[in-house]
Amino acid sequence: MAQNFCTAIPPPTSISKFISDQPYLSMLETKCNTMRDLKQIHAQLIKTGLAKDTVAASRILAFTAGNPSGDLNYAYLVFTRIQKPNLFTWNTIIRGFSKSSTPQVAISLFIDMLVDSPIEPERLTYPSLFKAYSQLGLAYDGAQLHNRVIKQGLQSDPFTRNSIISMYANCGFLSEAHVLFREGGDLDVVAWNSMIMGLAKNGEIEYAKKLFDEMPNRSAISWNSMISGYVRNGKLVEALELFSQMQVENVKPSEFTMVSLLNASARLGSLKQGEWIHDYIWNNGFELNVIVVTAIIDMYCKCGCVEKGLQVFLTAPVRGLSCWNSIILGLATNGFEEEALDFFSRLESSEYEPDSISFIGVLTACNHSGLVEKARAFFTLMTQTYKIEPSFKHYGCLVDALGRAGLLEEALEVIRSMPMNPDAVMWGTLLSACWRHENVEIGQWVAKKIIELDPSESCSHVLMSNAYAASGHFEEAIQERVLMKEKQVKKQPGCSSIEVNGVVHEFISGGRLHPQVQDIYDLSNDLSLMLRDEVQLVLDSDSAGAFQTERER
């Protein structure tokens, strides 16, 4: 049994001795690694009456609010018992909540600081608040705080200025961020990174790359921001190319880099590239944390190699809920519906509780395999047992399952019962089912809904034309195509990709942008001629055989 180290040191008899010897404070810095250790030391401080001392309380607060092993709720309780918190304690508790899932508490604490205490905020107070506003997307409120910073003459402080640039850029206020960035004078790498991340997040990827190329000094975060920005904006090949450049310049990638590259490989469907990245992670000793493991599983499943994804899941050193969700959805979308449902049952028996994404996985498995009753049951389980509010995707999965089974009226009722307004995608799911089951009446009504929402949407016209043709209404089918032409509504061209020797080639219907397009068309024509000749040989052979049989008769 481990010795209780708190009782090994006699409690100090006075504040002066406590401050001079600082046995408990020293132990907080050298021996305290977990909340259990912290609570033991805190208990001794309470017993001796030293918990009210500002220095001791500040150290306790610093561990609980600023340490990954800490407990923010515990930190708040400690803070509320400090009679006269100083600037350090206010900054510590505000900073802790600004990094949490409830950043609005940081802003409330700041208001309490202004109203209830004589303490004035200073340069170390504001960055945490701008971070909170950034997380909440409240740039207008953040702008008011920016005015306060200007009045206090702190705008030139690099730490504060960087946090303001980051807030504006993250919230999409790129003009405001750009003004601060360009007027900043001697900008450090943090300011450059904040601007690049904000631009990439808001779709300005080309300008982000321009700034990246202009950077006087780049950090690993600069490369990660640019690579993840490329992936976010669908520039997947560019992300992989930038990683190659990163290697040439001997910049050490991080787990975040690897996750972005795995996501790029998954979206490209490039199994060879994904396998190479997986090997790179393994050979270079990267930490296989939950985020990395989830990205590897997701990559293999999206590249159609479910067996390897399953192997990674089963042998992973850590397994979070996201890993479970990734394998369930991966199995469901690759035709292993029963296995997906089995893994969901295993999830329910594990230490984790299914969340909204888990139910998207099982509902997807149900609609792919036509298990309507199970889809209804899982939807009820989600809402009534786990108290999860259904999202658009959950309703979409249920509508899809009902539509595939031909229960179009029930699917329509589900859409009408939704607490949110259905979008064109939701109506399109039902319209596809109407076409599949040749229900022109409901299909016409749904098509009108889609056109009302988005007049430029081509899917409603195409699906209705197909539905008319399938049910023998050829005049109406032609009319839909004529309407498309009159309204100048263009159908999005089909797109496919294939990986050859580790290189992904993308093809668009009717496109001629591929560098080997002429060779491809020539080969396609040759294959068509060869196929025609082979078919003709078979037909001639069958005809000759039939003629000989007739003569013999």
Domain count, the chain: 4
Q: How many other C-beta atoms can be found within 10 angstroms of the C-beta atom of residue 488?
A: 7
5 confidence band (pLDDT: 50, 70, 90): very low
* Length in residues, the chain: 553
Tokens 């032609």 -> residue: 478
CA distance 408 to 399: 9
Q: Residue range 213-226: average pLDDT? A: 91
Instruction: Provide the token pair at 422.
Output: 């259905």
In a domain, 11, yes or no: no
Q: Is the pLDDT of residue 3 over 50?
A: no
Clarify whether residues 380 and 300 are in a common domain.
no
CA distance 208 to 195: 8
Identify the residue with better confidence: 51 or 192.
192
pLDDT score at 182: 85
133 in Cβ contact with 142 (< 8 Å): yes
In a domain, 461, yes or no: yes
Which of residues 376, 396, 417 is at a domain's end?
Answer: 417
Q: Three-state SS for 155?
A: coil
Q: Residue range 449-459: average pLDDT? A: 65
In a domain, 117, yes or no: no
Clarify whether residues 308 and 392 are in a common domain.
no
Q: What is the pLDDT of residues 109-125, one digit of tens each?
A: 999 999 988 889 999 99
Q: Determine which of 42-51, 189-198, 460-469, 527-536 has the lowest per-residue pLDDT on average.
A: 460-469
CA distance 141 to 461: 45
Q: What is the pLDDT of residues 364-383, one digit of tens each?
A: 999 888 899 999 999 999 99
pLDDT score at 339: 95
Q: Residue range 296-316: average pLDDT? A: 95
Which of residues 275, 302, 319 is at a domain's end?
Answer: 319
Q: What is the pLDDT of residues 88-116, one digit of tens each?
A: 989 999 999 998 889 999 999 999 999 98
Clarify whether residues 263 and 348 are in a common domain.
no
Q: Is the pLDDT of residue 72 over 80?
A: yes
pLDDT score at 204: 92
Identify the residue with better confidence: 354 or 79.
354
pLDDT score at 539: 67
Clarify whether residues 443 and 534 are in a common domain.
no
pLDDT score at 17: 43
Nearest to 74 by CA among 51, 107, 108: 51
Q: What is the pLDDT of residues 471-491, one digit of tens each?
A: 565 666 566 566 656 555 555
Q: What is the pLDDT of residues 158-192, one digit of tens each?
A: 889 999 999 999 999 999 999 998 886 778 898 89
pLDDT score at 310: 96
Clarify whether residues 334 and 411 are in a common domain.
yes
19 confidence band (pLDDT: 50, 70, 90): very low
Clarify whether residues 443 and 413 are in a common domain.
no
Q: Determine which of 250-254, 292-296, 436-440 has the lowest per-residue pLDDT on average.
A: 436-440
Nearest to 322 by CA among 345, 346, 356: 356
CA quadruple 409, 414, 420, 425: dihedral, nearest 10: -60
Clarify whether residues 501 and 523 are in a common domain.
yes
Question: Hey, CA dihedral for 469, 473, 478, 484, is it positive or negative?
Answer: negative
Q: Is the pLDDT of residue 46 over 70?
A: yes
Q: Is the pLDDT of residue 29 over 70?
A: no
In a domain, 134, yes or no: no
Clarify whether residues 289 and 226 are in a common domain.
yes
146 in Cβ contact with 164 (< 8 Å): yes
Residues 6 or more apart whose Cβ sits within 8 Å of residue 204: 174
Which of residues 473, 494, 515 is at a domain's end?
Answer: 494
In a domain, 261, yes or no: yes
pLDDT > 90 in the chain, percent: 49
1 confidence band (pLDDT: 50, 70, 90): very low
Instruction: Provide the token pair at 527.
Output: 């294959």
354 confidence band (pLDDT: 50, 70, 90): very high
223 in Cβ contact with 202 (< 8 Å): no
pLDDT > 70 in the chain, percent: 78
pLDDT score at 114: 92
Q: What are phi and psi of 499, to 5 degrees?
A: -100, 125
331 in Cβ contact with 306 (< 8 Å): yes
In a domain, 358, yes or no: yes
Domain hosting 366: range is: 328-417
Helices 356-369, 372-380: inter-axial angle, 10-degree rounding = 170
pLDDT score at 423: 81
Identify the residue with better confidence: 442 or 550.
442
In a domain, 198, yes or no: no
Clarify whether residues 275 and 314 are in a common domain.
yes
463 confidence band (pLDDT: 50, 70, 90): low
Residues 6 or more apart whose Cβ sits within 8 Å of residue 179: none
Nearest to 134 by CA among 94, 90, 179, 165: 165
Clarify whether residues 503 and 488 are in a common domain.
no
Nearest to 418 by CA among 441, 394, 447: 394
Residues 6 or more apart whose Cβ sits within 8 Å of residue 187: 181
Clarify whether residues 408 and 367 are in a common domain.
yes
Assign residue 300 the CATH number of its domain.
1.25.40
In a domain, 40, yes or no: no
Clarify whether residues 233 and 303 are in a common domain.
yes
Identify the residue with better confidence: 454 or 287.
287
Q: What is the pLDDT of residues 493-523, one digit of tens each?
A: 555 556 565 555 666 655 566 677 777 777 7
